[in-house]
Amino acid sequence: MPLTAAQQRTVNAAVDLFAEHGVGGTSLQMIADAVGVTKAAVYHQFKTKEEIVLAVAEGELARVEAALEIAEAEATPAAARDVLLEQMVALAIERRHMESTLLSDPVIVRFFAEHEPFRAVMGRLARVLMADERGREARVRAAMLTAAIGGAVMHPLVAELDDKTLRTQLLHLARSFLDLPD
């Protein structure tokens, strides 16, 4: 179900505010003020705050799905995995400038853990990431790699690196973690 114009304005404002103050730290009043309407007007667009969070999360999910589409179009599992690595790194780099807490927010995390559509996408992501491997080691490796790319961009240690350098290093080290050539 596509969003109406008013809903889209609300979501856009919410994304910025969630990224800056966290979901729990963002009130409907703040969102309403940012859009330039009243609380009740926002509440009319989305029946609950959770629905706004859901819309924001779905927006994020859509980007991951787009990355998956590109990767899964490759001919071999190995090629798909490598393309997915590039996509994941690119998404993570974009994300780093939203003060953000957006994906580490418990509320968002809960959505990604509980709602089936999110789990399905995460399953696809894991499958491509593991290529043709199957064992425990491959699972742990995929879990670590996902966490490493997503978490490293927010780490103070890399705060001073510019986007291009960080992107190159992340991709290089991710490949080396998988014993892939550069």
71: tokens are 């990767």
Report the distance separating Cα 159 and Cα 108, nearest Å: 24
Closest CB to its own copies among 55 and 142? 142
Residue of the chain from 47, 134, 136, 164 that contacts DNA (CB under 7 A): 47
Q: Does 136 bind its own copies (CB under 8 A)?
A: yes
Residue of the chain from 101, 111, 128, 131 that contacts its own copies (CB under 8 A): 101
End-to-end CA distance of the chain: 41
Half-sphere exposure of 32 (CA within 13 A, CB side): 14
Q: Does 29 bind DNA (CB under 7 A)?
A: yes
Residues 24-43 that bind its own copies (CB under 8 A): 24-25
Closest CB to DNA among 22 and 68? 22
Residue of the chain from 41, 93, 138, 161 that contacts DNA (CB under 7 A): 41
Query: What DSSP state is assigned to residue 158?
Result: G
Q: Build a one-symbol-per-residue string for 149-168: x at contacts with its own copies by CB under 8 A, - elsewhere.
A: xxxx-xxxxx--x---xx--
Report the number of secondary-structure helices (H) and strands (E) in the chain: 9, 0
Piece of the chain touching DNA by CB under 7 A; list 42-50, 98-106, 110-118, 152-160: 42-50
Residues 6+ apart with CB under 8 A from 35: 9, 10, 13, 41, 42
Report the distance separating Cα 14 and Cα 23, nearest Å: 9
Closest CB to DNA among 43 and 112? 43
The H-or-E segment that residue 27 falls in is none
Binding site for its own copies (CB under 8 A): 22-25, 101, 104-107, 109, 113, 119, 122, 126, 136-137, 139-152, 154-158, 161, 165-166, 169-170, 172-174, 176-177
